[in-house]
């Protein structure tokens, strides 16, 4: 499963091989260490990826990984900010072999859902990106009681859908605001890689329609608004 239990954390590793340590206390990132991402070499743990690696995407085939950020959330931070605990999506919770083993992501990390059982989320769309925390309460989806967690951001030229443990999930959006509190050095590095970030809109486009979490919470999904459309 996607499980960081036993993952040996070495703070020096967070700055090697192009992996940038990012974030501030209470900021939430993306995949947990141990999550397998589909590449031409098969499924590879996210912590083994480096900028320049090719990764399979849903809409654009193989794409070059441009930037990786990493956050270590320790016991003290989890005690202060309970929302940084990962959401565990158990094997098969979203469909047959979806995911194909347990997947752990941050609560705000968006997961693509479709098909029977998700009608209240899909409304009139065929596929929708939903923050993992909005899946809580469904069979097989729960907050993981981790004492510490290591999160990874993966960024491409565009926001992509990546196959992680057998389900499609969203990459980090190529805007600095999506990093939920990156440090100044990380922002400078991103601006060198992506000069357009300095002019990026506050609400970037996403690969699929996206369920708005505020309205979803207010209305229990019924009548929730899908705010962001897929780019042309």
The structure's pTM equals 0.74
Mean pLDDT lowest for which of 125-129, 172-176, 196-200?
196-200
**Strand, helix or coil at 209?**
strand
How far, in Å, are 6, 36, 90, 128 from residue 140 at the CA level? 23, 19, 5, 19
CA distance 73 to 24: 10
Q: What is the per-residue pLDDT for 209?
A: 62
Q: What is the per-residue pLDDT for 210?
A: 62
Cα-only R_g, the chain: 17
Instruction: Kindly tell me the sign of the dihedral angle through the C-alpha atoms of 20, 172, 180, 194.
Output: positive
pLDDT tens track for 102-127: 999 998 889 988 766 665 665 666 78
**Strand, helix or coil at 121?**
helix
């Amino acid at each position: 499963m996607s499980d960081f239990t036993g993952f040996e954390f070495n703070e020096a590793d967070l700055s090697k091989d192009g992996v940038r340590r990012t974030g501030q206390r209470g900021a939430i990132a993306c995949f947990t260490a141990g999550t397998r991402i589909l590449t031409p070499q098969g499924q590879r743990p996210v912590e083994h990826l480096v900028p320049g690696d090719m990764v399979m995407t849903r809409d654009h085939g193989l794409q070059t990984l441009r930037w990786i950020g990493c956050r270590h959330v320790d016991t003290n931070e989890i005690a202060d900010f309970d929302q940084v605990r990962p959401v565990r999506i158990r094997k098969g919770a979203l469909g047959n072999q979806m995911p194909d083993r347990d997947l752990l992501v941050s609560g705000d990390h968006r997961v693509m859902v479709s098909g029977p059982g998700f009608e209240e989320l899909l409304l009139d769309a065929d596929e929708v990106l939903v923050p993992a925390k909005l899946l809580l309460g469904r069979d097989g989806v729960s907050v993981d009681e981790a004492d510490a967690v290591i999160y990874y951001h993966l960024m491409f030229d565009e926001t992509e859908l990546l196959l992680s443990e057998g389900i499609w999930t969203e990459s980090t959006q190529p805007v600095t605001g999506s990093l939920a509190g990156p440090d100044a050095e990380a922002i400078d590095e991103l601006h060198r890689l992506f000069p357009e970030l300095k002019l990026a809109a506050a609400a970037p486009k996403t690969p699929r329609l996206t369920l708005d979490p505020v309205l979803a919470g207010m209305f229990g999904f019924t009548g929730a608004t899908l705010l962001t459309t897929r780019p042309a």
